[in-house]
Copies of this chain bind each other. A is one copy, B any other.
Amino acid sequence: MREVMITGVGSTPYGKLEGRSIESLAASAANAALLRAGVERDEIGAVYLGNFAGGALAGQEVLAGMVADDLGLTGGIPCTKVEGACASGGIAFRHAVLAVATGQCDAALVIGTEKMTSATGAQVTQALNFAMDNRAEGPSGLTFPGLFGLAWRLHAERYGTTRDDVSAVIIKNKANGLKNPLAQMGATLTADVIRQSAMIADPLQLYDCCPVSDGAAAIVVVAADRARNAADLPIRVRAAVQTSGPARIAGHDDLCSYLTTRRAAERAYAAAGIKPSDLDLAEIHDCFSMAEVIHSEDLGLVPRGKGAKWAREGRTNVGGDIAINASGGLLSKGHPVGATGVGQIYEVVKQLRGEHGNQVKGARLGLSQNVGGAGVACTVTILERSDA
């Protein structure tokens, strides 16, 4: 397998982007990524596009080919949309890396895109539930907020995690979002404000949930020997792992730990030859505050049971033991589902280049983790400065 480098990244802001179509968002991000990647458009040999609810929420499928056409990638290259719920973006990235690593092409384009805010709340809730097993588990009435509410209760019982511990994750991510120009809703919050917000799925409240978002992100990956013309510092892909896990909530042996993440982490650390403590930063899948808690523990970034407590102690801040979601994460940057996994990698690249608005000083090694459904899919990506 050949070494693969990221040479171009692009992103739209995340938020309620009125008047922008799902495909125009994708094209904007991709054009930005292509502009500085140091490869010509006709050198792109494959397109992978991550999208979840293009059909249900935006009335548009075949987005991979459509966006490639818009970008002038007219050489007949394979253009593939992949879907793995909220992990769609990470899965797209892995496939582009594989296309280059295995020699199918020397350069590939990854895009993630989603348009959610034009739909009603009920439509969005329904579409998000397509990521669960709607026949086996839908009738239980358990939606994703409920799932993480249950996990929280268990975490609290087992490790003594409190409302204010979990609030520290939100306060950190909302503050981080204020330093990210792409973020949908950075904010200065207090534990009091969070405690007074609407109850969603007890004990999970309003600020524990990420917003509904539009947005797109894109990445160009190239064979290492084709990275020399890049306008910006190339970033080395040390690992790009995709795993599966129990598809149903009833299949989990522990709601506070996702088998799919533990597997992806183990395989990614092995592939990269590193341990969690070598990492300077991580962008992880905080669709809910409690998700950051669980995933940071499963990834071995934080000791088991300490996911929220470390946030409260400032150890997952920029400047702490490990910077988790310096971008603001899904809670603050937003969660345009199909774009999220690609956008996380965008953020890690910006950090490793030293160009981030909320820079982790001297960052050389970063991780991103993207989870789909109730843990049915996970991708873990490990990136490194190419001069490291």
The one of B131, B244, B264 that contacts A69, using a Cβ cutoff of 8 Å:
B244
Indicate if A133 sits at the interface (CB-CB under 8 A).
yes
Mark A57-76 against chain B: 1 for CB-CB distance below 8 A, else 0. Answer: 00111101110111001101
Measured CB to CB, the nearest residue on chain B to A128 is B61
B55 touches A127 (CB 8 A): yes
Return chain B residues, CB-CB under 8 Å to A133. 23, 60, 66
* Alpha-carbon separation in the docked complex, A85 to B242 (Å): 24
A130 touches B80 (CB 8 A): no
| Closest CB in chain B relative to A287 CB, distance in Å | 14
Return chain B residues, CB-CB under 8 Å to A264. 76
Indicate if A79 sits at the interface (CB-CB under 8 A).
yes
B244 touches A65 (CB 8 A): yes
A69 touches B127 (CB 8 A): no
Return chain B residues, CB-CB under 8 Å to A372. 62, 65
A84 touches B102 (CB 8 A): no
B68 touches A244 (CB 8 A): yes
A69 touches B21 (CB 8 A): no
* Alpha-carbon separation in the docked complex, A83 to B61 (Å): 8
Return chain B residues, CB-CB under 8 Å to A77. 243-244
B242 touches A65 (CB 8 A): no
Copies per complex of this chain = 2
The count of residues in chain A whose C-beta lies closer than 8 Å to any C-beta of chain B is 61
Given known pairs A69-B247, A127-B55, A244-B69, the reply for A62 and B79 (CB within 8 Å) is no
Given known pairs A76-B259, A77-B243, A243-B76, the reply for A83 and B62 (CB within 8 Å) is yes
| Closest CB in chain B relative to A119 CB, distance in Å | 12
* Alpha-carbon separation in the docked complex, A95 to B104 (Å): 12
Return chain B residues, CB-CB under 8 Å to A64. 84, 244, 377
Indicate if A166 sits at the interface (CB-CB under 8 A).
no
Given known pairs A61-B83, A80-B82, the reply for A55 and B130 (CB within 8 Å) is yes
Indicate if A276 sits at the interface (CB-CB under 8 A).
no
Most buried by B among A53, A68, A376: A376
A-B contact pairs, 23 of them (CB 8 A): A53-B55, A55-B55, A55-B127, A55-B130, A61-B131, A62-B85, A62-B372, A65-B372, A65-B377, A66-B247, A69-B244, A69-B247, A73-B244, A74-B246, A76-B243, A76-B245, A77-B243, A77-B244, A78-B91, A78-B244, A80-B82, A81-B82, A95-B95
Chain A residues within CB distance 8 Å of chain B: 21, 23, 47, 52-56, 59-62, 64-66, 68-70, 73-74, 76-85, 91, 94-95, 98, 102-104, 126-127, 129-131, 133-135, 242-248, 251, 259-260, 263-264, 372-373, 376-377
